[in-house]
Chains A and B, each alone.
Chain A
Amino acid sequence: MKKMTIMIGGLLLIGPMLAHSTNHNQGAGPRGDGASGCGWGSLLFDGNSGVGAHVLAVTTNGSFGNNTFGLSSGTNGCDAEQPIRYKGGRVYIGANMTKLAEDMSRGSGETLAGLSEVMGIAKEDRPAFYALVKKHFAVIYPRDSVTSDEVMDALIVVMKSDPALSKYVG
Chain B
Amino acid sequence: MRLHDDPAWLALGHYRRNGWGHWVSDADDPAFFLAETGQYDPEAELSATLLAYFAPGGGDRHPRCRFPARYHWLKSRLDFAGSPTSNGDCKAFSEWAETLKAHSVSLIFPASYLNSPSSMFGHTFLRLDLENQDEDARLLAYTVNYAADVNPADNELFYAYRGLFGGYPGVISVQPFYDKVKEYSDFENRDIWEYALNLTPTETAQLIRHVWEIRPIRFDYYFIGENCSFRMLSLLDVARPALGLREKFPYRAIPSDTVRAIVDAGLVDHVDYRASAATVLNEHTRQLTPDQLDLARRLAAGEIALNSDALKHLSASEQAAVLEIAYESLRYRALSDKLPREQVAGLSYKLLAARSRIDAASPLKPPRHPSTRDDQGHKPWRADLGLGFFDHKAFGSFRLRSAYHDLTDPLAGYRPGAQIKFLDASFRYYEDERFRVEAIDVIDIASLTPRTDFIKPLSWTVSLGARRKLLETGRPLVGYLDGGIGLSYGIGDGMIFGLVNTALEASEATRPGVDVGLGTRLGWLYQGLGGQGLIDFRIVCYVVDDDHCAGGLHLDHTVNLGRDYAVNLRLGRERGENAYASELLLSVRRYF
Contact = CB atoms under 8 A, between A and B. Distances in A.
A60 B140 CA distance: 26
A33 interface: yes
Contact of A114 (B136, B151, B216, B349): B136
Interface in B115-137: 116, 118-119, 121, 123, 135-137
Given A54-B188, A62-B148, A102 B352 contact: yes
A62 B355 contact: no
Contacts of A43: 341
Given A71-B174, A83-B99, A117-B136, A57 B150 contact: yes
Contacts of B534: none
A110 interface: yes
A138 B179 contact: no
Interface stretch (B221-229, B263-271, B391-399, B506-514): B221-229
A31 B23 CA distance: 41
Contacts of A63: 145, 147-150, 171, 173
A44 B349 contact: yes
A105 B352 contact: yes
B227 A61 contact: yes
A48 B335 contact: yes
Contact of A83 (B100, B119, B338): B100
Given A45-B341, A55-B116, A63-B150, 8 more contacts: A37-B179, A56-B150, A60-B150, A60-B163, A62-B163, A67-B173, A71-B173, A106-B320
Contacts of A141: 349, 352-353
B341 A134 contact: no
A81 B95 contact: yes
Contact of A58 (B119, B175, B215, B361): B119
Given A48-B340, A48-B341, A72-B215, A144 B174 contact: no
A164 interface: no
B43 interface: no
B142 interface: yes
Contact of B178 (A60, A96, A138): A96
B135 A113 contact: yes
> Across chains A and B, which 6 residue pairs bring their CB atoms closest together, nearest first?
A137-B356, A144-B349, A60-B163, A63-B147, A113-B136, A62-B150
A130 to B, nearest CB: 10
Nearest to B174: A80
Nearest to A71: B173
B221 A60 contact: yes
A160 interface: no
B221 A65 contact: no
B315 interface: no
A111 B334 contact: no
A20 interface: no
A142 to B, nearest CB: 9
A111 B156 CA distance: 35
A58 B121 CA distance: 9
B179 A95 contact: yes
Given A51-B338, A105-B352, A114-B136, A65 B149 contact: yes
A83 B340 CA distance: 31
Interface in A85-116: 85-86, 92, 95-96, 98-99, 101-102, 104-108, 110-111, 113-114, 116
Contact of A71 (B99, B137, B140, B175): B175
B341 A65 contact: no
B462 interface: no
Nearest to B124: A61
B550 to A, nearest CB: 32
Q: Which of A48, A117, A126 has the most CB of B within 10 A?
A: A48
A110 B357 CA distance: 20
A169 interface: no
B305 interface: no
A114 B348 CA distance: 22
Contacts of B139: 110-111, 113-114
A56 to B, nearest CB: 7
Contacts of A86: 99
Interface in A10-56: 31-33, 36-37, 43-46, 48-49, 51-56
A46 B96 CA distance: 31
A55 B338 CA distance: 12
Contacts of B95: 81
Given A71-B173, A95-B178, A82 B356 contact: no
A106 B175 contact: no
Contacts of B425: none
B562 interface: no
A52 B187 CA distance: 9
Contacts of B357: 137-138
A108 B361 contact: yes
Contacts of B99: 81-83, 86
B171 A68 contact: yes
Given A54-B183, A63-B149, A99-B182, A145 B338 contact: no
B389 interface: no
A161 interface: no
Interface in A106-160: 106-108, 110-111, 113-114, 116-118, 126, 134-135, 137-138, 141, 143-145
Contacts of B148: 60-63
17 contacts: A31-B187, A37-B176, A49-B338, A51-B187, A55-B116, A58-B123, A59-B121, A59-B223, A62-B163, A68-B149, A72-B215, A81-B96, A82-B99, A86-B99, A92-B140, A108-B362, A113-B139
Contacts of B336: 51
Given A71-B173, A143-B349, A107 B163 contact: no
Given A36-B179, A71-B174, A45 B152 contact: no
A81 B98 CA distance: 10
Interface string B168-207: 1001111110110011001110000000000000000000
Contacts of B100: 83
Interface in B12-31: none
A145 to B, nearest CB: 7
B327 interface: yes
